[in-house]
Copies of this chain bind each other. A is one copy, B any other.
Amino acid sequence: MDVGLLYSGGKDSTLAALLLEPLCEVTLVCCSFGITDDVEHAVAAAEAVALPARQVELEPAMADEAIEQMVADGYPRNGIQLVHEHALETVAGLEYDAIADGTRRDDRVPTVDRSLAQSLEDRFEVAHLAPLAGFGRGAIDDLVAQELAVETGPSAAIPKGDYETELRARIKDEYGEETVAEIFPEHVQSRVTGRKTD
Protein backbone atom coordinates (compact mmCIF):
# COMPACT_ATOMS: atom_id res chain seq x y z
CA MET A 1 0.00 0.00 0.00
CA ASP A 2 1.49 3.34 -1.12
CA VAL A 3 0.89 5.94 1.58
CA GLY A 4 1.41 9.71 1.39
CA LEU A 5 1.87 10.94 4.98
CA LEU A 6 1.54 14.66 5.78
CA TYR A 7 4.90 15.44 7.32
CA SER A 8 6.15 18.37 9.39
CA GLY A 9 9.40 16.98 10.79
CA GLY A 10 7.84 16.87 14.27
CA LYS A 11 7.67 13.86 16.56
CA ASP A 12 4.03 12.94 15.92
CA SER A 13 4.20 12.68 12.14
CA THR A 14 7.55 10.88 12.41
CA LEU A 15 6.19 8.31 14.88
CA ALA A 16 3.18 7.80 12.59
CA ALA A 17 5.65 7.03 9.79
CA LEU A 18 7.52 4.49 11.94
CA LEU A 19 4.26 2.67 12.72
CA LEU A 20 3.32 2.41 9.03
CA GLU A 21 6.80 1.74 7.68
CA PRO A 22 6.88 -2.06 8.18
CA LEU A 23 3.55 -2.62 6.37
CA CYS A 24 3.36 0.20 3.79
CA GLU A 25 5.47 2.13 1.27
CA VAL A 26 5.50 5.47 3.05
CA THR A 27 6.35 8.78 1.38
CA LEU A 28 6.65 11.79 3.68
CA VAL A 29 4.76 14.63 2.02
CA CYS A 30 6.08 18.05 3.06
CA CYS A 31 3.45 20.67 2.26
CA SER A 32 4.23 24.33 1.77
CA PHE A 33 2.48 27.57 0.81
CA GLY A 34 5.82 28.92 -0.41
CA ILE A 35 5.64 31.78 2.12
CA THR A 36 9.00 30.82 3.65
CA ASP A 37 11.64 28.12 3.08
CA ASP A 38 10.70 26.34 6.31
CA VAL A 39 9.53 23.23 4.47
CA GLU A 40 13.26 22.49 4.25
CA HIS A 41 13.18 21.58 7.95
CA ALA A 42 10.64 18.84 7.23
CA VAL A 43 12.69 17.59 4.28
CA ALA A 44 15.81 17.54 6.48
CA ALA A 45 14.00 15.56 9.20
CA ALA A 46 12.80 13.07 6.59
CA GLU A 47 16.39 12.62 5.46
CA ALA A 48 17.52 12.23 9.09
CA VAL A 49 15.12 9.28 9.58
CA ALA A 50 15.96 7.88 6.12
CA LEU A 51 12.46 7.90 4.66
CA PRO A 52 11.57 9.12 1.15
CA ALA A 53 10.11 12.61 1.00
CA ARG A 54 8.58 15.00 -1.50
CA GLN A 55 7.41 18.58 -1.46
CA VAL A 56 3.88 19.54 -2.40
CA GLU A 57 2.57 23.07 -2.88
CA LEU A 58 -0.64 24.18 -1.22
CA GLU A 59 -3.00 26.87 -2.57
CA PRO A 60 -1.75 30.31 -1.47
CA ALA A 61 -5.36 31.51 -1.28
CA MET A 62 -5.97 28.97 1.49
CA ALA A 63 -3.20 30.58 3.59
CA ASP A 64 -4.98 33.94 3.27
CA GLU A 65 -8.31 32.39 4.25
CA ALA A 66 -6.78 30.63 7.27
CA ILE A 67 -5.01 33.80 8.41
CA GLU A 68 -8.21 35.87 8.14
CA GLN A 69 -9.96 33.25 10.24
CA MET A 70 -7.22 33.19 12.89
CA VAL A 71 -7.01 36.97 13.14
CA ALA A 72 -10.80 37.20 13.43
CA ASP A 73 -10.91 34.41 16.04
CA GLY A 74 -7.87 35.56 18.02
CA TYR A 75 -6.77 31.92 18.28
CA PRO A 76 -5.37 29.52 15.70
CA ARG A 77 -7.63 26.46 15.96
CA ASN A 78 -10.10 26.95 13.13
CA GLY A 79 -7.47 28.29 10.75
CA ILE A 80 -5.13 25.35 11.38
CA GLN A 81 -8.00 22.90 10.89
CA LEU A 82 -8.89 24.58 7.57
CA VAL A 83 -5.31 24.25 6.32
CA HIS A 84 -5.00 20.65 7.51
CA GLU A 85 -8.14 19.64 5.64
CA HIS A 86 -6.90 21.47 2.54
CA ALA A 87 -3.54 19.64 2.77
CA LEU A 88 -5.31 16.26 3.17
CA GLU A 89 -7.46 16.99 0.11
CA THR A 90 -4.42 18.08 -1.88
CA VAL A 91 -2.50 14.88 -1.12
CA ALA A 92 -5.65 12.77 -1.60
CA GLY A 93 -5.69 14.05 -5.19
CA LEU A 94 -2.24 12.56 -5.85
CA GLU A 95 -1.43 8.95 -6.76
CA TYR A 96 -1.45 7.25 -3.34
CA ASP A 97 -3.57 4.31 -2.17
CA ALA A 98 -3.84 5.99 1.22
CA ILE A 99 -3.16 9.36 2.84
CA ALA A 100 -2.10 9.61 6.45
CA ASP A 101 -1.29 12.10 9.18
CA GLY A 102 0.04 12.27 12.72
CA THR A 103 -3.18 13.31 14.47
CA ARG A 104 -3.41 11.83 17.95
CA ARG A 105 -6.22 10.60 20.20
CA ASP A 106 -5.96 13.57 22.55
CA ASP A 107 -5.32 16.32 19.98
CA ARG A 108 -7.65 19.32 19.94
CA VAL A 109 -6.43 20.52 16.54
CA PRO A 110 -6.05 19.47 13.84
CA THR A 111 -8.48 16.59 14.18
CA VAL A 112 -9.76 14.09 11.63
CA ASP A 113 -12.93 12.60 13.06
CA ARG A 114 -14.62 9.55 11.60
CA SER A 115 -16.98 11.52 9.38
CA LEU A 116 -14.18 13.64 7.89
CA ALA A 117 -12.09 10.51 7.27
CA GLN A 118 -15.00 8.77 5.57
CA SER A 119 -15.79 11.86 3.52
CA LEU A 120 -12.19 12.03 2.26
CA GLU A 121 -12.28 8.31 1.45
CA ASP A 122 -15.55 8.63 -0.48
CA ARG A 123 -14.69 11.80 -2.37
CA PHE A 124 -11.13 10.83 -3.36
CA GLU A 125 -11.30 7.02 -3.42
CA VAL A 126 -8.33 6.83 -1.12
CA ALA A 127 -7.98 5.44 2.41
CA HIS A 128 -7.24 7.76 5.33
CA LEU A 129 -4.90 6.38 8.00
CA ALA A 130 -4.31 7.97 11.39
CA PRO A 131 -1.83 5.59 13.04
CA LEU A 132 -1.79 7.61 16.27
CA ALA A 133 -5.58 8.02 16.57
CA GLY A 134 -5.63 5.29 19.24
CA PHE A 135 -2.55 6.49 21.17
CA GLY A 136 -2.60 8.91 24.12
CA ARG A 137 0.07 11.42 25.00
CA GLY A 138 1.96 9.23 27.49
CA ALA A 139 2.38 6.29 25.14
CA ILE A 140 3.48 8.60 22.31
CA ASP A 141 6.07 10.28 24.51
CA ASP A 142 7.42 6.89 25.59
CA LEU A 143 7.66 5.54 22.05
CA VAL A 144 9.26 8.75 20.77
CA ALA A 145 11.84 8.63 23.59
CA GLN A 146 12.58 5.03 22.65
CA GLU A 147 12.87 5.52 18.88
CA LEU A 148 13.77 9.12 18.00
CA ALA A 149 16.34 11.81 18.64
CA VAL A 150 14.39 15.03 19.14
CA GLU A 151 15.22 18.71 19.63
CA THR A 152 12.67 20.70 21.63
CA GLY A 153 12.16 24.38 22.39
CA PRO A 154 9.70 27.27 22.05
CA SER A 155 7.92 27.56 18.68
CA ALA A 156 9.94 30.58 17.64
CA ALA A 157 13.30 28.86 18.27
CA ILE A 158 12.53 25.48 16.65
CA PRO A 159 11.56 26.22 13.06
CA LYS A 160 9.49 23.35 11.76
CA GLY A 161 8.32 22.55 8.28
CA ASP A 162 4.65 22.88 9.15
CA TYR A 163 1.85 25.26 8.19
CA GLU A 164 2.03 27.07 11.49
CA THR A 165 5.57 28.28 10.87
CA GLU A 166 4.60 29.73 7.49
CA LEU A 167 1.35 31.23 8.72
CA ARG A 168 3.13 32.89 11.66
CA ALA A 169 5.62 34.42 9.25
CA ARG A 170 2.90 35.92 7.08
CA ILE A 171 0.89 37.19 10.06
CA LYS A 172 4.06 38.85 11.37
CA ASP A 173 4.55 40.59 7.98
CA GLU A 174 0.95 41.70 7.65
CA TYR A 175 -0.13 42.38 11.23
CA GLY A 176 3.09 42.59 13.27
CA GLU A 177 4.75 40.49 15.95
CA GLU A 178 2.15 41.39 18.62
CA THR A 179 -0.64 39.76 16.60
CA VAL A 180 1.44 36.57 16.29
CA ALA A 181 1.91 36.56 20.08
CA GLU A 182 -1.81 37.18 20.62
CA ILE A 183 -2.96 34.37 18.33
CA PHE A 184 -0.38 31.69 19.11
CA PRO A 185 0.14 30.77 22.75
CA GLU A 186 3.77 30.00 23.54
CA HIS A 187 4.25 26.25 23.40
CA VAL A 188 7.04 23.73 23.10
CA GLN A 189 7.75 22.43 19.61
CA SER A 190 9.72 19.37 18.66
CA ARG A 191 11.85 18.59 15.66
CA VAL A 192 13.20 15.15 14.87
CA THR A 193 16.93 14.92 14.23
CA GLY A 194 17.30 11.17 13.68
CA ARG A 195 16.57 7.67 14.87
CA LYS A 196 17.82 6.43 18.23
CA THR A 197 19.26 3.34 16.58
CA ASP A 198 21.47 5.50 14.32
Number of interface residues of A (CB under 8 A): 33
Q: Which residue of B lies closest to A142 (CB)?
A: B1
Q: Which segment, of A28-36, A87-95, A131-139, A154-162, faces chain B? A: A131-139
Q: Which residue of B lies closest to A135 (CB)?
A: B129
The one of B23, B117, B130, B147 that contacts A143, using a Cβ cutoff of 8 Å: B23
- The residues of A with any CB-CB pair to B shorter than 8 Å are 1, 18-19, 21-24, 97-98, 103, 105-106, 112, 114, 117-118, 121, 127-136, 138-139, 142-143, 146-147
How distant is the Cα of A135 from the Cα of B97 in the complex, in angstroms? 13
List, in ascending order, chain B residues with CB within 8 A of A121's CB. Answer: 136, 138
How distant is the Cα of A106 from the Cα of B134 in the complex, in angstroms? 13
Known contacts A105-B114, A105-B117, A133-B133; is-contact A1 B143 (Cβ 8 Å): yes
